[in-house]
Amino acid sequence: DAGITQSPRHKVTETGTPVTLRCHQTENHRYMYWYRQDPGHGLRLIHYSYGVKDTDKGEVSDGYSVSRSKTEDFLLTLESATSSQTSVYFCASGGGMGGSADTQYFGPGTRLTVL
C-alpha cells in the first residue's frame, strides 16, 4: 500500500474553534483527496487536489478549505468547527500520471468530534 498517513488520528474540539487535519503521502502522487464518512452516507468527497496549489471542490465543501503547498502534504481546515462536522475524515492519494488510470490509496482516517 502507498505510504499515506493522517494526523491527528483522533481529535476532540469545541464548536467555533479552528481545526486543521494533515495528510502526508510518500508516493509522489499527483492527486490527493479529502473525504468524510458518516453513518448512512458512505464516503463523500470534500475537496481534492490535482497538483501543488491546484485544488477543487467536492460534493460537501461548505465549511472546509484546503491547501497543498507541497506534493506530499494536503491540509484540510475547518475554519470554525460545528457539531455537524463531527465525522471520520479519510485522506487518499493517487497517481494520475499521463494516461494511466487513477487508483486511490487511503489513509487510516481521523476521527473528529466537535462538542
Partner 1 sequence: DAKTTQPPSMDCAEGRAANLPCNHSTISGNEYVYWYRQIHSQGPQYIIHGLKNNETNEMASLIITEDRKSSTLILPHATLRDTAVYYCIVKPTNAGKSTFGDGTTLTVKP
Q: Which parts of this chain interact with partner 1 (CB under 8 A)? A: 1, 31, 33, 35, 42-45, 48-50, 56, 58-59, 88, 90, 92, 96, 99-109
Smaller CB distance to partner 1: residue 75 or 88? 88
Radius of gyration of the chain (CA): 13
Cβ-based neighbour number of residue 64 at 10 Å: 20
Nearer to partner 1, 62 or 100 (CB): 100
For the chain, first and last CA: distance in Å?
A: 34
State the nearest-atom distance from the C-beta of 53 to partner 1, in Å. Answer: 14
Q: How far is the CB of 13 from partner 1 (least distance, A)?
A: 20
Q: Which set of grid coordinates corresponds to residue 17?
A: 474553534
Provide the strand spans (E) within 63-109: 64-70, 73-78, 87-94, 104-106
Q: Which three cell numbers stand for residue 34?
A: 479529502
Q: How far is the CB of 112 from partner 1 (least distance, A)?
A: 14
Which lies closer to partner 1 via its Cβ, residue 8 or residue 16? 8
